Each structure stands twice: as C-alpha cells, then as structure tokens.
Chain A
Amino acid sequence: MYRIIKKEKLVENIDRFYLKAPLIAKKSKAGQFVVIRINEEGERIPLTIVDYDRKKGILSIVSMRVGKTTALLSSLNQGDTILDVVGPLGNASEIRNFGRVICVGGGVGVAPILPTARELKKAGNYVISIIGARSKDLLILKEEMGNTSDELYICSDDGSIGYHGFVSGFLKDYLEKNLAGKTDRKTNIARVIAIGPALMMNAVSEVTRPFSIKTIVSLNSIMVDATGMCGACRVEVGGKTKFVCVDGPEFDAHLVNFDLLLSRQKIYCDHEGVCMDLYQHKCKLPE
C-alpha cells in the first residue's frame, strides 16, 4: 500500500502525486519509471518518475486522464492509497556533459522530461527547453522547466501562449536559425531529447534527422509486467525487436519504427472504450 502524501492538480486533466515510497525514491534516476496498480481489479500502467526526495522517501509522478485507470487515479486524493507501486524500472537517461542540448516536452510529456533536464543541467550542459500544450491552460510545469533551463520556449497549438504551433515546428525554426551563417551546415546542438505523445516524438525525430542531431525519445508502449517477461511493450529499433521496459524506455529516435509503435498502441482501443463507458456510467464523471 502506497500512501498519497500530496496531490496537486496541475491543469484540468493532469495531476501530480507525491507518494510515500522510500526505497523507490532512494534508487530512482531520471528517465526511469514505475508501474502502478490502483486496486485488486486494476491493470498495471507505467508512469515516468518526475521527481524523488531521497531523504524524505517521497516519489513524484504525473498522470494525465486518458482512460479508466488514469481517471480513477485522478479521483484519488491526499491520504488515499495505491495498492501496488513497483520501481524504479527501465534504464536511466544517459547523462553526460554533451554540450548544448535541447529538451522537448509535449503535453504531459513535459513532466517526464523535467528530471532529465535537471540532471543534464547538473552535468554541465547548456539546456534549451521547448515545451508545448494544446492551449495555455493545459501547459504544465512551466516554472520548474524555466528554473532548470538556460533557455525556455513555449508553444501552444491554439496560439494562446508563446509560439503558435507544435513543438516540432518551433524546433525546426530554431535549428534552422542555429544553422544560419554556418558554412559547415552543422548546428552546435549535441543532442535532442523529446518526450510526449508518439506522434510528437515521431515529428521531432523527422525534424532532427536532416540535421543529423542525435535524438533520444522515451517510448510509451503498453506494458504489463514491465520486467522483460511478457513482450507486450515490444518495438522495432534499427530493425531489431526490443522491449521498451528493459531495453529502453529511451532509444535513438532515428532508429525507432514509429508506425509500429503507433499501431501497437491501438491494440486495446475497443477494450479501453468499454472500460471507460462502464466507469463513467458508475461514477457519473462530470465532463
């Protein structure tokens, strides 16, 4: 049983939870995730670790309401408990002084990129962050990202704040500006890290490809055990089958078969609909 010490509503459909989990908090590293199961009938879902207080033994995760399990999680409050939390899982982000790095976070993906941006800054990198959301009131963790970045740029799909467009669009402009005047046609960006919906990570990957900038993405496949035992999370990277839970979750974006990732994310669409309908029918969630 894992107690929710604190709950913050970041925006309308995204919450941040602080959990009492001393052992996990002690070992967690940026880039890793936990798997939670809310109750006995619940499914297991992965959520990236956003922050960890090793001294106080507190783990922080962020969740966006997309289906039954995340909706149920969203209905929990301070003092409530989650039945199972297991972690830290996956490989930690590669953190080194690369030089100038760009961290791109889309939607709820801003939360998992925050710890990586922090560690990159600590390691001496010059951190440029580009974060985006559908609109101003869905943008999360702006202050925290600002505190850890040397440059922060904000994008919104509807233009209500910052750049009017996708993070990938802004990135493309930024990289082109960066190239201007350089005869060797090379930017001074050593690495791009992007986390967000699969379509967004795919778009970022295609933006950086012609610039030949190493791009790392954190893949969000469906998982069950998340310890390499079932293969639910398998993806194709460089033509080889990899398990996101143990070989990832971060991979070289230019080698990832995003079409396959997107296709496999849809396996349970019908089931998800059935569950959500039943849940909403029972709880009469306000829309």
Chain B
Amino acid sequence: MTEKINKKEFKKEKIPRMAMPEQDPEKRIRNFNEVTLGYTEEDALREAFRCIQCRNPKCIKGCPVEIDIKSFIKLIKEKKFDEALEKIREKNGLPAMCGRVCPQEDQCEKECILSIKDEPVAIGRLERYVADREMKQVAEGIKECAWSEVTKKCTRGKVAVIGSGPAGLTCGAELARMGYRVTIFEALHKPGGVLVYGIPEFRLPKEVVQKEIDYIKSLGVKIEVNMVIGKILTIDDLFKNGFKAVFISTGAGLPYFMGIPGENLNGVYSANEYLTRSNLMKAYRFPECDTPIVKGLRVAVVGGGNVALDSARTAKRLGAEKVYLIYRRSEKEMPARDEEVEHTREEGIEFKLLASPVEIIGKNGWVDKIRCIKMKLGEPDDSGRRRPLPVEGSEFDIGVDVVIMAIGQGPNPLLTSSVPHLELTKWGNIKADPVNGKTNIEGVFAGGDIVTGAATVILAMGAGKNAAKAMDEYIRTGIWQ
C-alpha cells in the first residue's frame, strides 16, 4: 500500500533539478574567482523538496562517509539550516569542500532513486549550501562562530598524524572528538594538502579551506606546519616523544613524467609544480606575490583527469591564447568529472583526444613544439578501460611554449624511505589494511592517497575516519594483532 503512494508522489513531483548558477565562461577565464556561485535559499528549498525521503534511502550507502543525507535534506525543507549542517558534520567535517569537489555523480547521486527516470537530487549542492550559509552568516556577524573556542578537554593520550590533507584532517578531527590530543604535522607552510596546493581557487576557494581547517582546529587539533617528518623528526622520535599511535597520510606527492625526450626543457612543468606555484604560492597574482610562473601563450596539458583539467583552466586564466588538452584515450574514458569536462570545454580549451606525446622539441633550451602520435583504442587493460595503441606514422606537431605533464601522481618516498621496515607495494604505496589502515608496524596506521594512489578527497576522508576508530581501539586495548 505504501509503495503505491510513493510511486504516485514520485510521478507528481517532477520538478527539474535546480541549475547551479555559474560565472559566464567569457568572464570567468579572466579571473580566478569560483566558477560555481552556489544556490540561493530559494534554489536550495526547491531542490530539497525534490527529495522524496525514501523509506530506505540508497544515497547514504553511496556516500563513503555515510552522511545521513535523508535527514539533512529533511531539515533543509524545514528551514532548519543550522541543524542540517550539524547533521552533516556528524559524519563529515569538511562539508563546504566535499559539497564542491566530491564526485557525487559517482557516489550518493548515482544511488538516488530519482536518477532512474530523472535527474538525481543535487545532494552535493545542498551540502555546499548549508555549509556556505553558515560561513556567510559568521562573516556578516549575523551568527556567532559557535565553534571558535576549544571547549573539548583532551584527556586521552597523544596521537600524531603526518600530513594535513583530507585524510589527515579527518583522522585528526575524529580522534580529537574522542578526546585525544592530536598533532598533525605538515611539511608545507600551509595545511590542507591537495586542498591548498592542488585544487585551484576557482574550484575550491582557499578561504573556504581555511574556514574548514579552523573548524577542525576548534575541536582541539593542533597543526604544526614546516614539519617534514622523516627529516626533522622520525616516526621513532614521535613514539619516543610519547605519541601513542601514528597515522601516515602523506598523499600522492610525487610527480610522474613520461620519460620522453625534451621533458627537462624550460617551460615543461609537472602539474604538481604548475598548480603549487599558482594555487599555494599564488603565482597568479605575480608580481604582487613573489613566486613566478611561466605564462605560456600556447600551452599543452597532457592527461585526462581533474588535475589535467585544473592545469588547463589555470593556463587559460593566466592568459594563454591557446590551451590544448592532450589525452590518449577518448572522452568517454576520461577519469575527470563530467561537470569539469563541460566547464573546460566552455572555457575554450581544445581537446586533442586519442593522441599522446612522443617528444618535446626545444629551441634555445625552451619548449618550441610538442610531437604527438594519434592513438586508437584496443582491448581493455587492468583498469577496465580500452588500451590505447599508437597509429604508425601518424605523428603531428603542435607549436607550444609550455607543456604541463598531468599524467598522475605517485607516493612521495620522503617519509616512507625514512621508516626502513615499513612494508610498501612495488609502486611505493604503503601496504595498509583497507578497512582499518594498519601497516605492518605496530602503532603505525596509514590512509588516503599514500595507500590507494591518487584518488578523491572523500575517499581519503573515509580512510581517515576508519583509521581513527582503529587507532582508538588499539590505544585503549593495547591489542595490535
């Protein structure tokens, strides 16, 4: 009987998914401001009313940290925005960020029942709305920052987290909530990891990142920057200093190069370097900020993931007249988010699909051309995607002055090489239990990209949460096993 009623309601409420207001492409390629502008209250309410409050919501299972989506959307419908945010924060300490960068289309929204015949509820946009709303109200003085003081008493032992990216921040937050004294050690001069150095301002404003990090600090987490564990202190030192357990979340901070001739010419960047200069060091504001970046007029970006798109869109904003995205497979196989592929196309970046570089040709030590070969798709490889194969004799040149290699990032060996007995995979990732993050060394846990390879913010967060639970159990019981 109830099933019939649900179907009827479903047929009635076919409101189209609320569009996300965006900056016009022509305008936004000249600035680094956020592309997506966020819902208004009206947008958010209308979108929240699309949710049919399923009896057995599938969306929650699609979320790597199991946010109670059904409840928070219900609270939005009731205009209880603060409570909606608290509901999200029960499971996710970084809602303003996740609402922006999570691939919801592969996670919660993919499971949404409306996606069968219609478009799913814009869960991510609603999450972002409530998080941004609080930030705005605090900024305008309408609301007191309820969490600006550290009220939690840290009565349990000391725990160390290495790396202040999403995995480390989340693990630290969870442990602090449980009453541990957490110190997160960060190698760079600003916390956030990829959130500050990797994802550009126009996709994730650093002010938003800072506020989310402030929230985590308000839970009692201490973040020490300029601390390269493995150099200034070893993991042994940490245990000697009284830390009861350590979580390694150093990320995927090793740039991959193709190994083709000409890769060391002036004007060839790894995406890590290009984005770090622009995002972390604010080279897009040069000379107001001192760190320079080569602003090519004709830029080639090699790769097809979100990092490649971020690099291409940054190059456009830095004044490039022509930006080429060179990817060896077809658009269907691109790992980047559909939404970002669309934004990239709108911004006038030219896609050179089914092509791969074979050589970078220089002139006077600088990049002059990139030589590519056309590719065709063969049988699927290990990743399930069709293997690209070069087409004999199909080489072609593109005149460029900057090349950005965005073909992936691997595990940075700086920390791992300082822990001699730590078990690693053949690619240098840390071998850790996928559920509880345990490594082969007692008291040492690991999670995030350093374990899985480059993945998403939310998966790293999930790993951080799970490890926190396991670390708590280990510290309380003393059982390692």
Chain A residues near B232 (CB-CB < 8 A): 23-24, 27, 86-88
A252 within 8 A of B: no
**A94 to B257 Cα, complex, angstroms:** 29
Stretch from B136-144, B268-276, B297-305 forming part of the interface with A:
B268-276
- Known contacts A246-B414, A267-B266; A275/B287 CB under 8 A: yes
A41 proximal to B (CB < 8 A): yes
Select from chain B the residue with minimum beta-carbon distance to A34.
B226
Is A225 in contact with chain B by the CB < 8 A criterion?
A: yes
In angstroms, how far is the closest chain B Cβ from the Cβ of A214?
25
A228 within 8 A of B: yes
A272 at interface by CB-CB < 8 Å: yes
Query: Residues of A contacting B10 with CB < 8 Å?
Result: none
A27 near B231 (CB under 8 angstroms)?
yes
The answer to whether A264 and B272 have CB atoms under 8 Å apart is no
A211-227 interface (Cβ within 8 A of B): 224-225, 227
Q: Is the CB of A231 within 8 A of B255?
A: yes
Q: Contacts A266-B266, A275-B290 given: A224-B414 contact, CB under 8 Å?
A: no
Q: Does B254 lie within 8 Å of A228, measured CB to CB?
A: yes
| Interface range for B | 35 or more
1/0 per residue, CB under 8 A from A, across B262-294: the answer is 011011011011001100011000111111101
Kindly state the interface size class of chain A when it binds its partner: 35 or more
Q: Which of these, B228, B266, B267, B282, contacts A89 with CB under 8 Å? A: B228
Complex-state Cα separation, A168 to B278, whole angstroms: 40
The answer to whether B253 and A69 touch across the interface, beta carbons within 8 angstroms, is no
Q: Please indicate the chain A residues that have their CB under 8 angstroms from the CB of B264 in the complex.
A: 234-236, 241, 260, 264
What distance in Å separates the Cβ of B147 from its nearest Cβ neighbour in chain A?
25
Binary flags per residue of B390-411, CB closer than 8 Å to A gives 1, else 0: 0000000000000000000000
Once A227-B187, A275-B287 are accepted as A-B contacts, the answer to whether A86 and B226 lie under 8 Å apart by CB is yes
Describe A's contact surface by its main secondary structure. Answer: mixed
Interface residues of B in 289-342 (CB under 8 A from A): 289-292, 294
Separation of A235 and B263 alpha carbons in the complex (Å): 11
Interface code A147-160, partner B: CB below 8 Å = 1, 0 otherwise? 00000000000000
Whether B277 lies near A224 (C-beta < 8 A) is yes
| Secondary structure type dominating chain B contacts | loop
The answer for the CA separation of A236 and B287 in the assembled complex, in Å, is: 30
B413: Cβ under 8 A from any A Cβ? yes
Instruction: Tell me if A5 counts as interface (CB < 8 A to partner B).
Output: no
Shortest Cβ gap from B15 to chain A (Å):
46
B198 vs chain A, min Cβ distance (A): 10
Q: Does A76 sit within 8 A of B, measured CB to CB?
A: no
Shortest A124–chain B CB gap in Å is 27
Are A230 and B272 neighbours in the complex by a CB distance under 8 Å?
Answer: yes
Residue contact A224 to B289, C-beta cutoff 8 Å: no
Given contacts A89-B231, A231-B273, contact A69 B412 (CB under 8 A): no
Contacts of B114 in A (CB 8 A): none
A272 to B290 alpha-carbon distance, docked (Å): 9
Interface: B188 (CB within 8 A): yes
The interface bits of chain B over 205-246 (1 if a CB of A lies within 8 angstroms of the residue's CB, else 0) are 000000000000000000001111001110000000000000
Give chain B residues whose Cβ lies under 8 Å from the Cβ of A44: 189, 281, 291
Tell me whether B226 and A84 are in contact (CB under 8 A).
yes
Give the distance in Å from the alpha carbon of A235 to the alpha carbon of B264 in the complex: 8
Find out whether the CB atom of B228 lies under 8 angstroms from the CB atom of A227.
yes
Cross-chain pairs A/B with CB under 8 angstroms, 11 sampled: A69-B290, A84-B189, A86-B226, A87-B231, A224-B277, A224-B291, A227-B414, A246-B414, A266-B365, A268-B292, A268-B294
Known: A41-B290, A228-B254; 10 extra A-B contacts, CB below 8 A, are A42-B290, A43-B281, A43-B291, A84-B189, A227-B228, A230-B270, A231-B272, A267-B266, A271-B287, A271-B292
Which 6 A-B pairs rank lowest in CB-CB distance, beginning with the nearest? A271-B292, A230-B273, A229-B253, A263-B365, A86-B226, A43-B290
A residues whose Cβ falls under 8 Å from a Cβ of B: 23-24, 27, 37, 41-44, 68-69, 83-89, 224-225, 227-232, 234-236, 241, 246, 260, 263-264, 266-268, 271-272, 274-275, 278
